[in-house]
Chains A and B, each alone.
Chain A
Amino acid sequence: MGEFSVMRKTASFGCLIAGLILMIWGLAMAIGKTGNTLRGGALVVGAVLFFAGLYLFPTFKHHRTIVNIIFLFPLLFAFAVTVIIPLVLGIGYSFTDWNGIKMKGFVGMANYTRMFKQPGFIWSILITFLFVVFNIILVNLVAFLLALLCTSKIKGLGFFRAAYFLPNLIGGIVLGYIWQFIFSNVITKFTTALFDARYSMLSETKTAFIGIVIVYVWQYAGYIMLIYITGLNTIPGDVLEASSIDGANATQTLFNIKIPMIAPTITICTFLTLTSAFKQFDVNLALTNGTGSVADFMGNYLTNGTEMLALNIYSTAVINNEYAFGEAKAVLFFIILAVVSIVQVRISNKREVEL
Chain B
Amino acid sequence: MKRKALALLLTMSTLAMTITGCAGAAAATAGADQNPGTEVSDDSQDAGTEDAAAPAGGTTIRLVNNKAEIDVGLHSLAKAYEEKTGITVEIDSIGGGQDTQAVLKNYYQAGNMPDIFVFEGDTHYETWKDVLTDLTGEAWTEDTEAEYVNGGKVYGFPTTTEAIGLTYNKAILDKAGIDPKSITGPESMRAAFEKLDSMKDELGLTSVVGYYTEAANLWWTAGQHLLGTYLDVGLARDDTTYIDLINDGGKLDMERAKPWAEMVALFNEYTDDNGVSGTYDDQIANFAAGKYAFVTQGSWIGAAMTGNYADQYAAAGNFEVGMIPYAFIEGQDTIQTNSPNWWGLYNEGNVEEAKAFIQWCSENDGGQEILAKECGCVSPFTSSTHMPEDPFAATISDYTAAGKTSAWHWQGWKEGLAQNVSAVIFQDFAKGSFKSTDEFLETLSKAIEAYYAQ
Give the interface of A toward B (CB within 8 A). 26, 30, 33, 35, 37, 39-41, 43-44, 47-48, 51-52, 55, 67, 70-71, 73-74, 77-78, 81, 99-102, 114, 117-120, 180, 183-184, 188, 198-200, 202-204, 287-293, 300-301, 303-305, 315, 318-321
CB–CB B215/A321 < 8 A: no
CB–CB B428/A293 < 8 A: yes
Interface of A is mostly: helix
Interface of B is mostly: helix
CB–CB B111/A33 < 8 A: yes
Of the listed stretches B11-19, B192-200, B238-246, B253-261, name the one at the interface; the rest are far from the partner chain.
Answer: B11-19
CB–CB A199/B431 < 8 A: yes
Is B419 interfacial (CB 8 A cutoff)? yes
Give the interface of B toward A (CB within 8 A). 7-8, 11-12, 14-16, 18-20, 22-24, 26-27, 30-31, 52-53, 55, 99, 101-102, 105, 108, 111, 123, 127-128, 130, 214-217, 219, 273, 276-278, 414-416, 419-425, 427-428, 431, 433, 443, 446-447, 450, 454
A-B CB proximity, top 4 nearest:
A200-B277, A40-B27, A289-B216, A303-B424
Taking A74-B15, A300-B450 as known contacts, 13 extra A-B pairs with beta carbons closer than 8 A to each other, sorted by chain A number, are A40-B27, A44-B23, A47-B15, A71-B11, A73-B18, A77-B18, A114-B454, A119-B450, A289-B216, A290-B216, A303-B424, A303-B425, A318-B102
Select from chain B the residue with minimum beta-carbon distance to A320: B416
Residues of the A chain whose Cβ atoms lie less than 8 Å from the Cβ of B16: 44, 48
List 18 interface pairs A-B (beta carbons < 8 Å), by A numbering.
A33-B30, A40-B27, A44-B16, A44-B20, A44-B23, A48-B16, A73-B18, A100-B102, A101-B127, A102-B130, A120-B454, A184-B277, A198-B273, A199-B273, A290-B216, A301-B447, A303-B423, A320-B420
CB–CB B277/A51 < 8 A: no
Partner of B216, one of A33, A199, A288, A319: A288
CB–CB B123/A321 < 8 A: yes
CB–CB A40/B23 < 8 A: yes
- How far is the CB of B298 from the nearest CB of chain A, in Å? 22
- How far is the CB of B134 from the nearest CB of chain A, in Å? 18
Q: With A and B bound together, what is the CA distance between A288 and B218 in angstroms?
A: 11
Residues of the B chain whose Cβ atoms lie less than 8 Å from the Cβ of A39: 27
CB–CB A48/B12 < 8 A: yes
CB–CB B416/A315 < 8 A: yes
Partner of A319, one of B127, B130, B415: B415
Select from chain A the residue with minimum beta-carbon distance to B414: A320
Q: With A and B bound together, what is the CA distance between A30 and B112 in angstroms?
A: 13
CB–CB B14/A74 < 8 A: yes
CB–CB B277/A203 < 8 A: yes
If A30-B30, A73-B15 touch, whether A37 touches B53 (CB-CB below 8 Å) is yes
CB–CB B18/A74 < 8 A: yes
Select from chain B the residue with minimum beta-carbon distance to A73: B15
Q: With A and B bound together, what is the CA distance between A118 and B99 in angstroms?
A: 25
If A301-B443, A301-B446 touch, whether A292 touches B416 (CB-CB below 8 Å) is no
Q: With A and B bound together, what is the CA distance between A120 and B420 in angstroms?
A: 10
Q: With A and B bound together, what is the CA distance between A303 and B425 in angstroms?
A: 7
CB–CB A291/B105 < 8 A: no
Residues of the A chain whose Cβ atoms lie less than 8 Å from the Cβ of B450: 119, 300-301
CB–CB A100/B24 < 8 A: no
Partner of B433, one of A289, A293, A319, A320: A293
Residues of the A chain whose Cβ atoms lie less than 8 Å from the Cβ of B8: 52, 55
Residues of the A chain whose Cβ atoms lie less than 8 Å from the Cβ of B214: 184, 203
Partner of B277, one of A71, A188, A290, A319: A188
Partner of B22, one of A71, A81, A120, A287: A81
Residues of the A chain whose Cβ atoms lie less than 8 Å from the Cβ of B130: 102
CB–CB B277/A118 < 8 A: no
CB–CB B427/A291 < 8 A: yes
